[in-house]
Amino acid sequence: MTQAMEPARILYCGDNLQIVRARLADESVDLIYLDPPFYSQRNYQAFFKQMVPATPGNAKAPAFGDTWRWVPDVEHAYIKLLAGASEDVRRALNTLHSFLGPGPLLAYLVMMVERLIELRRVLKATGSVYLHCDPAASHYLKLLLDALFGVENFRNEIVWCYKTGGASHRHFARKHDLIFFYSKSEQYIFHALKEKSYMMHRYGFKKSEFLRDERGEYTWVYMKDVWDLPALGAADGQRLGYPTQNPEVLPERIIQASSDDGGIVLDPFCGSGTTLAVAQRLGRGWVGIENHYLGIAYQRYRLAHYFPNLPYICAGGPTTLEEARRLAATDAAQFRWWALSLVGARPLGGEDIALKGRQLGGIHGIVPAQTSEQVDRLVVVSINELERETLQYLSELLKVSANWAGLIITLEAPELLAQELLAAWSCAPGVAFTPGTLTVTNIAQLLSQP
């Protein structure tokens, strides 16, 4: 399907297969970086950093699942692929079906093939794709990439090695991921990158230019396919708490090598938004797709924090009050993440907070001040009627810091009692955020804003 290309900065919430099929035109993106689930057969949780007193430092919430089963929908997708995919893809799928049999791993590979077919369609002839995976399924994914892009268009198997905790007495410590680099054709964009190579001695390198830094003598060499880059540690300033978050230097290398200024980068599994933030910083357009509102909240916070007032489109969430009510009734947590994303708040979790012996709804997010004239806004999302204890809790927190203001986002407009309580704590809808004040807004007001 060929359609008009969406704007160069757009974030979609929803199933990436359906969005790529319906929204992205043939040969419309310059570079694809995807970091999909790895077939780990586990569920992942986000861990929220303690940023507000009286909130737990180990708050956590479900982020996404990476578990797979062979169910009727998967079998139907497999049969559909056998009927419509290219001969090479059909042959590869038939071989994998014969070898693996219908089960979790084949279900995962069917999911990936469906998406890779569409991703190849939207990739320009000069474009490249980088698929991030690990040894759990990498060997099967490479066979499928060979079938889709052609063996002749395989460029690199990049090994990202890192040092993290965890080892085993039963095997060598598993400390690397793989990134498969394929082009769509022989005429692909590539800018060779260089890196520092530190030398123990100069023997045999008489023609090299040696430089020195705090680590010692080095010379510049063309970058190799083994990348020794630190993973994000718990204390790293980039870390937001989203599981599987990668350091910015990883997509930075890929974007610099395989796209030009102004090119469009697509990340169909964009998680916490690392690729989007790096693409924006490097002067590229971008399209991001994420299926969970927690990821959307992180991404919109990150964009607002790094690039204040950046114009972009966010599509796929509720657009009416009735749709918002349906989301709240279906999944309260997802509703809260979506509501936080409307104001660019960083998620903090905080569902059950103990304050002076009372169990209260906690602070769900925070909007950090961008300038010295602004204040940090502590955000609470209320689905049902505002409770006196919640307002009291916020009021007590605001007394702790001279740089905090409160923001309550309600699904419905507060009833008379809540309005009286808010007025008693010097809160008026629409006032500027100043230290110690509480401000209330509702979803309908936020949806009506451009």
Domain architecture of the chain: domains with CATH? 9-191+224-315 (3.40.50.150), 321-448 (3.40.1350.10)
- CA distances 64 to 220, 242, 264, Å, are 41, 10, 26
What would the mean pLDDT of 401-407 be, rounded to a whole number? 83
pLDDT at residue number 357: 36
Split at pLDDT 50, 70, 90, the class of 45 is confident
Split at pLDDT 50, 70, 90, the class of 122 is very high
Top mean pLDDT of 37-46, 187-196, 396-405 is at 187-196
What would the mean pLDDT of 178-184 be, rounded to a whole number? 98
Based on the number of CB atoms within 10 Å of its own CB, is 346 exposed (0-12), middle (13-18) or buried (19 or more)?
Answer: buried
Residue scoring higher pLDDT (168 or 76): 76
Token pair 């810091």 is found at 401
Residue scoring higher pLDDT (180 or 411): 180
Split at pLDDT 50, 70, 90, the class of 355 is very low
pLDDT at residue number 218: 87
Residue scoring higher pLDDT (155 or 50): 155
Q: Are 387 and 415 in contact (CB under 8 A)?
A: no
Per-residue pLDDT at 418 exceeds 80 = no
What would the mean pLDDT of 102-110 be, rounded to a whole number? 97
What would the mean pLDDT of 407-415 be, rounded to a whole number? 82
Q: Which residue, among 383, 300, 289, has the nearest Cα to 334 in the 3D structure? A: 383
Least trusted range by pLDDT, from 218-227, 263-272, 342-351: 342-351
Split at pLDDT 50, 70, 90, the class of 197 is confident
pLDDT at residue number 1: 46
Q: What is the dihedral of CA 58, 64, 69, 73, to 10 degrees?
A: 150
pLDDT at residue number 70: 97
Per-residue pLDDT at 48 exceeds 80 = no
pLDDT at residue number 352: 43
Residue scoring higher pLDDT (59 or 162): 162
Kindly report the number of other CB atoms within 10 A of residue 49's CB atom. Answer: 18
Split at pLDDT 50, 70, 90, the class of 337 is very high
Split at pLDDT 50, 70, 90, the class of 53 is low
pLDDT at residue number 369: 87
For the chain, first and last CA: distance in Å?
30
